[in-house]
């Protein structure tokens, strides 16, 4: 059983077993087994409301903490708490699977994390100059600059398609 601490300092226990998988299916129409296909983890990243709904169904207050209403739970789910809770849920789901299926799900989890990291890096690259700009015109000008040379992934996106084809000599 994994735990996380909400923004109000309450500790919650997350348990995934056959009973709770069925409970989430019935209550929310969400199949926790989709983690093995990679779909559910991507949905967590895009939809924190879905993540919190699932956590509310699965979580119980740790010993010494009282149960809270859903609205109170939701209000305490923000910032880094969402990351911590998502990690606890993902680990608990992975622990639920038998070994072979766990390895498959873990591979999908790694893919989802890499995709999310790439998206964050690209968004940061785009937004950093905008945040530093003093005027809207300067922000537009900064956003149109090509990516830095030390960022091969971004540079590859900006390069013309012909340059990427093997066998062409300039």
pLDDT of 149 higher than 70: no
List beta partners, residue 4.
12
pLDDT at 51: 93
Q: How confident is the model at residue 81 (pLDDT cuts 50, 70, 90)?
A: very high
Percent of the chain predicted with pLDDT > 70: 66
Average pLDDT in the 41-51 region? 83
- Looking at every residue in the chain, the average pLDDT score rounds to 77
Average pLDDT in the 153-170 region? 46
Question: What does the alpha-carbon distance between residue 77 and residue 82 come to, in Å, rounded to a whole number?
Answer: 6
Cα distances from 127 to residues 29, 57, 135, in angstroms, run: 36, 36, 14
Q: Whole-model pTM?
A: 0.62
pLDDT of 63 higher than 90: no
Q: How confident is the model at residue 28 (pLDDT cuts 50, 70, 90)?
A: very high
Average pLDDT in the 50-79 region? 87
pLDDT of 89 higher than 80: yes
Q: How confident is the model at residue 165 (pLDDT cuts 50, 70, 90)?
A: very low
More confident residue, 60 or 164: 60
Percent of the chain predicted with pLDDT > 90: 31
pLDDT at 32: 86
Mind giving me the DSSP string for 134-162?
A: SSHHHHHHHHTSPPPTT-HHHHHHHS-HH
pLDDT at 155: 52
SS3 2: strand
Provide the total of helices (H) and of strands (E) in the chain, helices listed first: 9, 3
Give every strand in the sheet of 59-61, ordered side by side: 2-5, 11-14, 59-61
């Amino acid at each position: 059983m994994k735990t996380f601490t909400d923004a109000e300092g309450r500790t919650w226990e997350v348990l995934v077993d056959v009973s709770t998988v069925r409970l989430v299916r019935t209550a929310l129409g969400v199949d926790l087994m989709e983690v093995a296909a990679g779909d559910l983890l991507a949905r967590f990243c895009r939809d924190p409301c879905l993540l919190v709904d699932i956590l509310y169904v699965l979580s119980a207050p740790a010993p010494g903490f009282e149960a809270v209403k859903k609205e109170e739970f939701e209000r305490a789910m923000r910032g880094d708490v969402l990351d911590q809770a998502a990690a606890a849920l993902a680990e608990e789901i992975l622990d639920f699977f038998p070994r072979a299926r766990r390895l498959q799900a873990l591979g999908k989890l790694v893919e989802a994390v890499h995709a999310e990291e790439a998206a964050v890096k690209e968004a940061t690259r785009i937004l950093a100059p905008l945040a530093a700009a003093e005027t809207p015109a300067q922000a537009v000008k900064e956003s149109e600059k090509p990516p830095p040379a030390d960022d091969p992934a971004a540079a590859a996106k900006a390069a013309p398609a012909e340059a990427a084809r093997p066998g062409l000599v300039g």
